Amino acid sequence: MKHTMCLAGALLSLAVVSTPVGAQTETTTSPHRLLLIMDASGSMWGQIEGENKIVIARRVLKDLLGDLTSETEVGLVAYGHRREGDCEDIETVVPVGALDSGIVAGRIDAINPKGKTPINGAVREAIDLARTQDGPTTIVLVSDGIETCGGDACETIHSARADGVDFIMHVIGFDVAEADVSGLECAAQAGGGLYLSAEDADGLAGALDQAVAIPAEMPAGRLSVRAIAEGGLQDALVRVLPPGSDDEVASSRTYATSATNPRVIPLPPGTYDVEARAIGLRGNVSTRFEAVEVPADSVRELIADFRAGELGIHIMRNGELSDATVDVYRAGTQERVAGGRTYTGSGTNPMVLELTAATYDVVVRSVEIAGRPEARFENVSVRGSQRADRTHEFSSGTLRIGAVAGGELVDAVVQIRDAVTGSQVDQSRTYTRAVSNPSEFTLSPGRYRVRIQAVRLEGRPVREIDVVVDKAGVVEQMVELGG
């Protein structure tokens, strides 16, 4: 919960600093008017760590009431709590009015999940309540699922704000990690608020603290992040961080739709680092903007450009196309971002990878040569709409080792070791057929120690020999193991 408390504290500071001259300052995160929309659809009987989600939500919402000041006006809208399969099952459980914690807590405890998820209808109900109020309203929607009754809450919210209804709206996705929450994110953006994800009780409590900490009547700064790639909108995860830190202040997702891209995030005025990580692209998909100034009552705009370039890897061996594995890493790290095999056909060699513009390290390992020798290309710069090419040629020779006894082919194990380091490079078995005896090895040029041991001859005799393999050369020896 470290990131949640970080933002809550920052927003609390904003509320205190922004109090008009002559007004009484009060260290509270309570909005003047808070309208909660509670999900009571059937899925709220699902469990998190053995506890029903509705039980968690009741407890956390009641705890929130205890943190609000007595001057706060509170209302509660619920949906899906009275009838199964009814998209009209939406009710103002507590009309907006002076906070009476006992009454509101009792109404919360009486809510039992049964039905569907009519988010748009519930949002419309809350907006109609806000429309009748004098002054701004903070609306917080808590939902564990997406719309199941049709309608577009994002458009409903956008139209209401365009009509001058005075509210800010935050959306909390409760245990929705596997769902497509683009509609919920869009609703939050249209409402000028945050989309917050909560996976458990602590997360829900922190998200509610975060939401009510933003004063509806005092517009914060706004950070706008537009993510693009190849001339179109790009889905990306946006994280807002304190300068030089990885303690998340806020996060959102742009998706590839104009409803949420650019992604607009309300923030207290200040300095932040902003990280944008593209979703669905290969390569260095993360870009970081450092020391971004977000002014008060204004929008700071950033563009995260994920235009791709190409990286071509051409692998040869002794003048011919050669099979090799290719691994691409973010430069200076062990984070693998792409890879594959060149094989030996002109359709795959050179292997061409589409990568976001960045700097990469490339490791190539031969598939055809024993010991899989490798080559490295470091700090390869890939630029948008351009191609970077790298070529490497491996060298090899051929070693054939056979085993005989008294003029007959015999079964033997053949081990190949580097004569300098002593490390084993390869191993094979001759058996007693001409197709496998002698055994053939493709080796890098160099000096090797070869150990040949009979498998079935009495005493399993052993011989060791030294050989030198040259580039494109062939060395063949039949080793006598008898007598």
| ∠ Cα 174 266 274 (to 5°) | 90
Phi then psi dihedrals of residue 182, to 5 deg: -60, -35
Mean pLDDT computed over every residue of the chain = 89
Say if residue 137 is exposed, middle or buried (CB neighbours under 10 Å; 0-12, 13-18, 19+). Answer: buried
For residue range 119-168, list pLDDT tens digits in order.
999 999 999 999 999 889 999 999 988 899 988 999 999 999 999 999 99
Which pLDDT value is given to residue 181?
Answer: 86
What is the mean predicted confidence (pLDDT) over 257-273? 91
Confidence band, pLDDT 50/70/90 cuts, at residue 21: very low
Which pLDDT value is given to residue 163?
Answer: 93
Rg (CA), the chain: 34
Distance between CA atoms of 474 and 399, rounded to whole angstroms?
Answer: 6
Whether 2 shows a pLDDT value over 50: the answer reads no
Q: By the 8 A CB rule, do 223 and 302 touch?
A: yes
Which pLDDT value is given to residue 220?
Answer: 65
Whether 172 shows a pLDDT value over 90: the answer reads yes
| ∠ Cα 48 50 53 (to 5°) | 40
Distance between CA atoms of 416 and 425, rounded to whole angstroms?
Answer: 6
CA–CA distance from 316 to each of 322, 326, 339, 348, 446 (Å)? 5, 13, 17, 12, 19
Residue with the bigger pLDDT between 9 and 245: it is 245
Which pLDDT value is given to residue 217?
Answer: 58
Residue with the bigger pLDDT between 467 and 32: it is 467
Which pLDDT value is given to residue 31?
Answer: 62
Which pLDDT value is given to residue 350?
Answer: 97
Distance between CA atoms of 266 and 63, rounded to whole angstroms?
Answer: 25
CA–CA distance from 14 to each of 188, 211, 221, 225, 347 (Å)? 21, 14, 10, 22, 60
Confidence band, pLDDT 50/70/90 cuts, at residue 298: confident
Which pLDDT value is given to residue 16?
Answer: 27
Q: By the 8 A CB rule, do 126 and 37 touch?
A: yes
Q: State which H helix or E strand residue 104 sits in.
A: helix 101-109
Distance between CA atoms of 344 and 347, rounded to whole angstroms?
Answer: 9
Q: Give the three-state DSSP class for 339.
A: strand
Residue with the bigger pLDDT between 183 and 448: it is 448
What is the mean predicted confidence (pLDDT) over 306-328? 96
Confidence band, pLDDT 50/70/90 cuts, at residue 30: low
What's the first-to-final CA gap in the chain, in angstroms? 77
For the chain, helix, strand, coil in percent to 5 are 20, 45, 40
Confidence band, pLDDT 50/70/90 cuts, at residue 268: confident
Residue with the bigger pLDDT between 446 and 246: it is 446
pTM of the model: 0.65
